[in-house]
Each structure stands twice: as structure tokens, then as C-alpha cells.
């Protein structure tokens, strides 16, 4: 019996596949469209593994997904396939609606057709809908963290499309009894994250002596979780999560963006031979803010801790150091993902952001 990981060539999906195979948990099929964010180099170390199989396909293609489910006797789907970058969703929202909403719909229909055909064996099937805390919207400075019963107030086309997918999943559980569990996780960081997101972008720019573009006043808060801890949480949910439920996942590590960037500068200085942190901190440039920029996210992850016994194992400080080391050791990986498309994105996103420092 195999699991199907959709979007397994991206950041979290590839970490999930690598951990799954390292732990010897059984066959895994990775179905990925290979957008700019999907990179098979992430999985080069397992490409010949007997339990690993790759299929290039789009989750919007219901027939292709259903054929994979049948061919590989799949007993669980973990969906990571999505468009994920908020700034890109502001520039080009259409692709977010296509993959995150229509793609989720096609995936749900494929799973529904497949599970119907399993008869009684379908009881053990699971679909894990990997979602985000961004669906809950923005918190004020003194608000309590998001719980699983917080209302949905998405602010960006990205978070709105993920919210729509969560609602579709819930409706397929309630209406058709499809065995779905949703997870809403905070910001991840770690190896193989595409260098358009805050932490890898800052490491990349700092090592090249480029500006470190901090949006607005740098006071926006995110709750950071090391990617390996997120993958462990998903494995727990897959094994023991209750169908129809949602589980919040977070790192108990709220930091302002400027705190994150300054911490990165300090770690980079520790690894560099001389020069001190100011060599990197002097690159920090405050730039025009993101429209609709959520001020604060924070996650109450008590439910998954109390029900499933999951807690993060990596502190933000140790995880960030590990991440910086990985990027410094894997400069070739960064270069390999810096396609023409990536450079066009940097031009489109940052050239219009005037410095406000």
C-alpha cells in the first residue's frame, strides 16, 4: 500500500518524502506538475529508491490523479500541491485560483471516485489537506493565537484560495463522508525552500552582498516552524488524526521580520571568517510594504499536542542556524533554481518597491 504525495517536489513536500523514505515507512508516489517551485533535484538522493516513484501531472487533471491512485493501490493522499507565494498571488492571482481551488476540487473528485470503488476498504483511506494559518487572517498585538475554531478572514488571493480549498474539503467530508483531515500550519523554514520566501531570500541576498528588502516597518510577526517538525506533525495526523477534524500546527516562535533578518545576519557573521554582523546588517533596506500585509500570525497548537502528542523539537534558534548552514553548504542548489523565471520575478517584485529607509 502506497501513499500519494502531491506537490512532493516543492519545499515541504520534498522534505516529507525524504523523511518518509529515511524512516522506511513504505512506498511513496510523488505527483507533481513541476512548476517553477518544483525541483526534482530536491529528491535526487532517492530517485533510485525502490519505494519511490515520480509522476509528472497536474492535480487539476482528475483522470490522471485517479489513474495513479488505482495503479499504485494508494491508501492515503497528502496534498502539498499549491501556488504558495503571497506576493505572486498579488501579481497574478489566476494561477492560485486554478491550482488551489480548481485543483483541490479535481483532487477531491478523483479521491471520491477512487474511494467509492474501494468499498469497505475505503474506511482506512485518508486525505490530508495541508493548509495554512493564513486562512484565519491577521491578529492584533494582544489577540490570543488562532485556534481551530477561529473564524476565516483571509487577506490575500493566496490565503483566500487556501480558505476555499479548506471549505471544499470540509464539504466533501460532511456531504460525501470522504475521510479528510485538514492541517493549518504556521510559516515553515528549512532546507529546499525556494528563495522567494523571506528566510532563503535573505540568506541568498546577504551572501551576494545584495540589499535585504524588509517590507514596511519590519514589525510584522510570523510564528516559525522548522519544516521537519511540520512533516512529523503530518505523519501523526495521518496515523491518528480524527477524520473531519482540523489541527493547527505551530512553532511557538513568534518573531518580527526584522528580528528574523537580524538573527540571520548574526548567524551568517558567525559562519563567515571575520567582518562582524554589521557587514550583513548594513544591507537591510526597508522597502514599500506588501498590500494587505497581515500584521501578525500566531498559532495555538494545543489540540495536536493534547490529542496526538506532537510538539516541535527544533527551537527557532537551532533551526535557523541549521538552515543557514544548509544554504551555505548548498550554494549549487540555489544557483540551480535561479532560472530566468526567477530573475524575472525578482525584477517584477523588487524593482517597483522603492526604498523607504
Tell me if 169 contacts ligand NAD by CB under 6 A: no
C-alpha atoms less than 13 angstroms from C-alpha of 169 in its C-beta half-sphere: 30
In the bound complex, what is the minimum distance in angstroms from residue 11's beta carbon to ligand NAD? 3
C-alpha atoms less than 13 angstroms from C-alpha of 234 in its C-beta half-sphere: 30
Sign for the pseudo-dihedral over CA of 273, 256, 7, 17: positive
Catalytic: which of 32, 58, 87, 134? Answer: 134
Q: Report d(CA 185, CA 179) in Å as an integer.
A: 20
CB nearer to ligand TYD: pick between 72 and 222: 222
In the bound complex, what is the minimum distance in angstroms from residue 305's beta carbon to ligand TYD? 23
Q: Which long-range contacts (CB under 8 A, 24 or more apart) does 168-175 make?
A: 168/101, 168/104, 168/105, 168/108, 169/104, 169/108, 169/127, 169/129, 170/244, 172/108, 172/112, 173/243, 173/244, 174/244
Applying CB under 6 A, which of residues 2, 17, 27, 35 lies at the interface with ligand NAD?
35
H or E stretch at 189: strand 187-189
H or E stretch at 240: helix 227-240
Applying CB under 6 A, which of residues 152, 215, 326, 342 lies at the interface with ligand TYD?
215
Q: Report d(CA 2, CA 170) in Å as an integer.
A: 24
H or E stretch at 88: helix 86-91
Tell me if 185 contacts ligand TYD by CB under 6 A: no
Q: Report d(CA 6, CA 79) in Å as an integer.
A: 5
In the bound complex, what is the minimum distance in angstroms from residue 263's beta carbon to ligand TYD? 13
User: Which residues 80-109 are close enough to bind ligand NAD by CB under 6 A?
Assistant: 80-82, 84, 99, 103
Confirm whether 134 is a catalytic residue.
Answer: yes
Tell me if 194 contacts ligand NAD by CB under 6 A: yes
Which string of x and - marks every residue 290-329 that binds ligand TYD (by CB under 6 A)? x---------------------------------------
Q: Alpha carbon of 266 to those of 98, 260, 263, 271, 345: distances in Å?
A: 40, 10, 5, 9, 28
In the bound complex, what is the minimum distance in angstroms from residue 31's beta carbon to ligand NAD? 6
Q: Which stretch binds ligand TYD (CB under 6 A): 57-65, 210-218, 268-276, 338-346?
A: 210-218
In the bound complex, what is the minimum distance in angstroms from residue 37's beta carbon to ligand NAD? 4
Neighbours of 172 (CB within 10 A): 22
Tell me if 214 contacts ligand TYD by CB under 6 A: yes
Angle at 279 between CA 193 and CA 203, to 5 degrees: 5
Tell me if 34 contacts ligand NAD by CB under 6 A: yes
CB nearer to ligand TYD: pick between 18 and 201: 201
In the bound complex, what is the minimum distance in angstroms from residue 110's beta carbon to ligand TYD? 28
Query: How many amino acids of this chain bind ligand NAD (CB under 6 A)?
Result: 29
Tell me if 198 contacts ligand TYD by CB under 6 A: yes
Contact 337, 196 (CB under 8 A): no
CB nearer to ligand TYD: pick between 3 and 86: 86
Confirm whether 172 is a catalytic residue.
Answer: no
Contact positions vs ligand NAD (CB under 6 A): 6-7, 9-13, 32-35, 37-38, 58-60, 80-82, 84, 99, 103, 130, 132, 162, 185, 187-188, 194
Catalytic residue set: 133-134, 158
Amino acid at each position: 500500500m502506497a501513499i500519494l504525495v502531491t506537490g512532493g517536489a516543492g519545499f515541504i513536500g520534498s522534505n516529507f518524502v525524504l523523511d518518509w523514505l529515511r524512516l522506511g515507512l513504505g512506498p511513496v508516489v510523488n505527483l507533481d506538475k513541476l512548476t517553477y517551485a518544483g525541483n526534482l533535484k530536491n529528491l535526487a538522493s532517492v530517485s533510485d529508491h525502490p519505494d519511490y516513484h515520480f509522476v509528472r501531472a497536474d492535480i487539476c487533471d482528475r483522470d490522471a490523479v485517479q489513474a495513479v491512485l488505482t495503479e499504485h493501490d494508494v491508501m492515503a493522499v497528502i496534498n502539498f500541491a499549491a501556488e504558495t507565494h503571497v506576493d505572486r498571488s498579488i501579481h497574478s492571482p489566476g494561477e492560485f485560483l486554478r491550482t488551489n481551488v480548481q485543483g483541490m476540487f479535481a483532487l477531491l473528485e478523483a479521491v471520491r471516485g477512487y474511494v467509492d470503488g474501494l468499498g469497505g476498504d475505503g474506511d482506512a483511506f485518508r486525505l490530508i489537506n495541508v493548509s495554512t494559518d493564513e486562512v484565519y487572517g491577521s491578529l492584533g498585538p494582544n489577540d490570543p493565537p488562532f485556534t481551530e475554531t477561529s473564524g476565516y478572514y483571509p487577506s490575500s488571493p493566496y490565503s483566500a484560495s487556501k480558505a476555499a480549498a479548506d471549505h471544499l474539503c470540509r464539504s466533501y467530508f460532511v456531504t460525501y463522508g470522504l475521510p479528510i483531515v485538514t492541517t493549518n500550519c504556521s510559516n515553515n523554514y528549512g532546507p529546499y525552500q525556494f528563495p522567494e520566501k523571506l528566510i532563503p531570500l535573505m540568506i541568498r541576498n546577504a551572501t551576494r552582498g545584495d540589499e535585504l528588502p524588509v517590507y514596511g516597518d519590519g514589525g510584522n510577526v510570523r510564528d516559525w516552524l522548522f519544516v521537519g517538525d511540520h512533516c512529523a506533525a503530518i505523519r501523526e495526523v495521518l496515523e491518528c488524526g480524527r477524520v473531519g477534524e482540523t489541527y493547527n500546527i505551530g512553532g511557538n516562535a513568534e518573531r518580527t521580520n526584522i528580528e528574523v533578518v537580524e538573527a540571520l545576519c548574526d548567524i551568517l557573521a558567525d559562519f563567515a571568517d571575520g567582518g562582524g554582523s554589521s557587514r550583513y546588517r548594513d544591507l537591510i533596506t526597508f522597502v514599500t510594504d506588501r498590500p494587505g500585509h497581515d500584521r501578525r500570525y500566531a498559532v495555538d497548537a494545543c489540540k495536536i499536542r493534547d490529542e496526538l502528542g506532537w510538539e516541535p523539537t527544533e527551537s527557532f534558534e537551532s533551526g535557523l542556524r541549521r538552515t543557514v548552514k544548509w544554504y551555505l553548504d548548498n550554494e549549487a542548489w540555489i544557483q540551480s533554481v535561479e532560472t530566468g523565471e526567477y530573475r524575472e520575478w525578482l525584477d517584477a517584485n523588487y524593482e517597483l518597491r522603492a526604498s523607504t529607509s
